[in-house]
């Protein structure tokens, strides 16, 4: 008998509830150093040809372009296809050298290859926060313009 037919189709979550809380805490700490906004999103797509294009679609659908300084950053994960991307809005891209994002991405990938997904994501958040703090200093009120919660495709 094929027992797999009786297992739910939905895969296990990439992160436990406590790990998600750790990610949110890392975002909060990183955003205290900058006026920029950081989000983490988990997509459900299988292998895609252009992960950056898919990440850009999610960036827009999440409303990340609606920050006052156009300084949102998305860490986009596709666990089913083992792909990910880091993308920033216009305000960030006009100031931050793309090679700095490649370096952060490469550091995250080392963790992912060792199946340290939480460490990789938190590392990316922390490095993004440090990088963004050079260009986008927190202002007096430093409003939280975007939700810090981890989001994922339905």
What's the predicted TM-score (pTM) here? 0.88
CB distance 56 to 88 below 8 Å: no
10 Å CB burial of residue 35 (0-12, 13-18, 19+) is buried
Q: Where are the domains of the chain?
A: 36-135
CATH number among 2.30.110.10, 2.30.30.30, 1.20.140.10, 3.10.310.50, domain 36-135:
3.10.310.50
Residue 30 above 80 pLDDT?
yes
CA separation, residue 60 to residues 22, 72, 84 (Å): 25, 11, 17
10 Å CB burial of residue 87 (0-12, 13-18, 19+) is buried
Q: Give the pLDDT band (50/70/90) at residue 115.
A: confident
Mean pLDDT of the chain: 86
Supply the pLDDT for residue 142: 63
């Amino acid at each position: 008998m094929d027992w797999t037919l009786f297992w739910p189709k939905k895969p296990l979550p990439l992160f436990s509830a406590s790990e998600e809380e750790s990610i949110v805490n890392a975002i909060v700490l990183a955003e205290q150093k900058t006026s920029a906004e950081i989000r983490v999103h988990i997509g459900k797509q299988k292998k895609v040809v252009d992960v950056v294009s898919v990440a850009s679609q999610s960036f827009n659908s999440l409303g990340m372009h609606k920050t006052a300084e156009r300084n949102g950053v998305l860490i986009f994960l596709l666990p089913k296809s083992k792909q990910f991307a880091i993308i920033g809005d216009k305000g960030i891209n006009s100031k931050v050298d793309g090679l700095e994002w490649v370096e952060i991405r490469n550091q995250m990938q080392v963790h992912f290859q060792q199946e340290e997904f939480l460490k990789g994501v938190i590392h990316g958040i922390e490095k993004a926060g440090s990088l963004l703090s050079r260009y986008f200093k927190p202002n007096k009120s430093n409003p939280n313009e975007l939700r810090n919660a981890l989001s994922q495709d339905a």
